Structure 1
Amino acid sequence: MTFDLKTALKYIILLVIGIGVLYLAFKGQDLGRIWVEIKSANFFWVILSSIIVWLAHVLRALRWQMLYKSIQYKVSFWNAYHAVMIGYLANLALPRFGEIGRCSVIHKAEKVPMFASIGTVITERLFDVLVLLLTGLAILIFQYNIVADFLYNTIYLSLANKLQSLNYFWLIGIFFLFLLLIVGTVYFLRKKFSKKFLRIFVSLRQGFGSYGKLKNKPLFLLYTFGIWSFYFLSMYTAFFAIESTSALGLNAAFTAIVFSGFAMVAPVQGGIGVFHWMVGQSLVLYGLAFKDGLAYATIIHSSQVLLILILGSLSLFLVLTKKRVK
């Protein structure tokens, strides 16, 4: 009961933080004008943007299916797809819970060991992080004059001021305490559950090795490129939904997708607040008013959340009503 209460409090705190960031993003803005701009949006482009994002989810399911096949687990495309959509749905309620949730769906539907699935998820997420870092590096190289001031004034100076006010002895102490806790936990698990711990380790190692065993690595990389290309196209096509962003070009979409990618890393349900602020700030770099950037971010975030609510709920219904594999 205590654990459940602590977990619930943690997620409530994260949600409150997200709402707080959302409040700070919209604080001082003309909410009436933002709402007028949202209402006047051309929803053809919003729907097209949502369809493109859905195609990225389809490619993610196909890519994940390849990793299972490489470690000799035959997972159907539809089970992989439903698991991906249910995972996104779970992330709207509990941040980072979606990865565990979709592994659980595959475990129940296809009887794949849970930790083998987790290993494959971590593997594909590492490739996503790599793409995000490479695109961020590309922005620094090719659009340095645009993002340099933002990184220095908004990010670097803010962090430097906060770090100067911290006591480094406390930071060092917390770090070593955290390290000791990890070592102690691993030792305890190995001592008390040695056989079970070994099975978990073997399953995880199997999932981690899934990419190395792929027979068609170029196709896996092509899927990865396709996923991020669709994210980029979704961001770009949504520019045409409102007049203020319709003149923005490919460079702005490229920067916005990187900023939004880092925003979604934040442990907040659905990236609420953080996504709005980051995307709004990314468009300010290209001469857009922050209120217009917020209107755009609200439109694209809301459309993607609605897509997940509808398709994720449909996938959950289909999985729950489907007969399980014996």
Structure 2
Amino acid sequence: MSVQHRALATGKYIFLFLLGLGLLFLAFRGQDMSALWAEIARADPLWVTASAACVVAANVVRAWRWNLLFSSLNFRVSLRNAFTAVMVGYLANLALPRVGEITRCTAVNRSNNIPLYASLGTVVTERLFDVLVLFVTLCGMLAFQYAVVGNFMNGLLNQVLDRLQTGGFTVLVICCCAAIAVAAFCWWYLRRKKSRSMLRIIAGLKQGLRSFELLKQKAAFVGSSILIWLLYFLSVYLALFSLPATAHLGPQAAYTALVFSGLAMVAPVQGGIGVYHWMVGQALACYLVPFADGLAYATIIHSSQMIFILVVGSLALVCNLVCKPETGRPGSAA
């Protein structure tokens, strides 16, 4: 990568980080910070711990689900190595958004010598299923909770339409055309280049993307995908009991907060900082929870997850770097 490209990439990540900080500032602007921190200090650590435990369990299931895709490609990866790679990826996402997917593939390449682009194809397959589950949960929220969240969703849609009418539509069309042009150029370049390295990259990606097609345990994969999101839901629900201001809320509010938090984490911002707090605060506001209390709840659950990623992710990174590599020889996943 040239110096110019490195500078552009660095500038992009700095911009996204500053954008996240800006959104965080907007979320907390006008709030009584002393009252907010006093509310956070009242949080019941037992419920916060129970919520964090569900996130840990979800990541273990995620690692196991990833192993299913590896086994369909006749690669062997231990659950420990898969979990370690997943946590290294989350740690990388805190620094650079979306780089975690590549980082965890690099980690499993180091620990088990799994071809990088084959594992990247399995990650793409995973993410497609996660997006599908998020879409289904979003549709469920709109179908059963529209009376509660309808006003907020309509207001948000009207803001988007207003932006499009004031020149945003032109920007959107230009961005779409640019994305299509870049994709077409990359496809043309890869077909024209046809070097051995490029062919290996394409073959590896195709192999990884076919992992679900070759999977014999499709029901287990789909079931584990649903279980991951059920554990995320349980994490959000249990965290409600940590604060007096949210303890009265039921599963419906937790479901809405889960959908809003899932949409927030799609944003290309490190750790969803700022976006997560604003979205979850708005979700609980739909259930007549003061926005300040919603921010306190969002701060508690987001901070507990970030602490978990920083601690476990750092340990996972050290383990991946110092532990003796294992073979990824053909066989079923251990």
| TM class, shorter-length | over 0.9
Question: What residue identity is the alignment partner of 2:137?
Answer: T
Give the corresponding residue for 2:277: 276
TM-score by length of 2: 0.94
**Deviation per CA, 1:241-297, whole angstroms, max 9, x where unpaired?**
111000010000000000000000000000000000000000001110000000000
Shift of 1:178: 3.6
Question: Taking structure 1 as reference, are residues 76 and 131 closer, same or farther at Cα in structure 2, changes over 3 Å only?
Answer: same
Pairing partner for 1:49 from 51, 66, 72:
51
| Structure 1 position 219, deviation (Å) | 1.1
Kindly state the Cα deviation for residue 144 of structure 1 after the two structures are TM-superposed: 1.3
**CA 1:167–1:65: 2 relative to 1, 3 Å:** closer
Residues 185 and 222 (structure 1), Cα distance of their counterparts in 2 relative to 1, 3 Å cut? closer
- CA shift, 1:168, in A, is 5.0
Letter in 2 for 1:42: D
Query: What's the counterpart of residue 199 of structure 2?
Result: 198
Please point out which of 81, 84, 97 is paired with 2:83: 81
> Once structures 1 and 2 are overlaid, which stretch shifts more, 83-92 or 190-199?
190-199
Q: The residue matched to 1:109 in structure 2 has which SS?
A: helix
Whether the 8 Å contact between 2:121 and 2:209 is mirrored in structure 1 is yes
2:303 maps to a residue whose letter is S
What is the 5 A alignment of 1:282-321?
282-321=283-322
Give 1:173 deviation, angstroms.
4.7
2:127 counterpart of 1:125: yes
Structure-2 residue corresponding to 1:228: 229
Which residue, out of 58, 62, 70, partners 2:60?
58
Aligned pairs for 1:1-326 (under 5 A) are 1-153=3-155, 155-166=156-167, 168=169, 171-325=172-326
Return the alpha-carbon distance in structure 1 between the equivalents of residues 178 and 262 of structure 2: 31
Structure 2, unaligned runs of 5 or more? 328-334
Task: Provide Cα deviations, 1:207-229, integer angstroms capped at 9, x if missing partner.
Answer: 11111111111111121111111
C-alpha spacing 1:172/1:308, structure 2 compared with 1 (3 Å): closer
- Whether the 8 Å CA contact 2:163–2:169 is kept in 1: the answer is no
Deviation at 1:171, TM superposition (A): 4.8
* Aligned counterparts of 1:239 and 1:51: Cα–Cα separation in 2: 15
Bigger drift between 131-140 and 217-226 goes to 217-226
Distance 1:282 1:34 in 2: 18
**Residues 191-237 of structure 1: CA deviation (Å, up to 9, x unaligned):** 23433222212111111111111111111112111111110000011
Helix, strand or coil at the partner of 1:165: helix
Aligned partners of 2:136 and 2:190: how far apart in 1? Answer: 37
1:185 Cα deviation (Å)?
A: 2.7
Name stretches of at least 5 consecutive residues in structure 1 with no aligned partner.
none
Higher mean alpha-carbon deviation, 209-218 vs 268-277, is at: 209-218
Structure 1's 196 and 273: CA in aligned 2 closer, same or farther, altered over 3 A?
same
Q: Which amino acid aligns with 1:53?
A: V
Q: Which one is further off, 206-215 or 273-282?
A: 206-215
Give the AA of the match of 1:284.
A
Question: Could you say what the CA RMSD is over the residues aligned between the two structures, in angstroms?
Answer: 1.4
Please state whether the residue corresponding to 1:212 is helix, strand or coil: helix
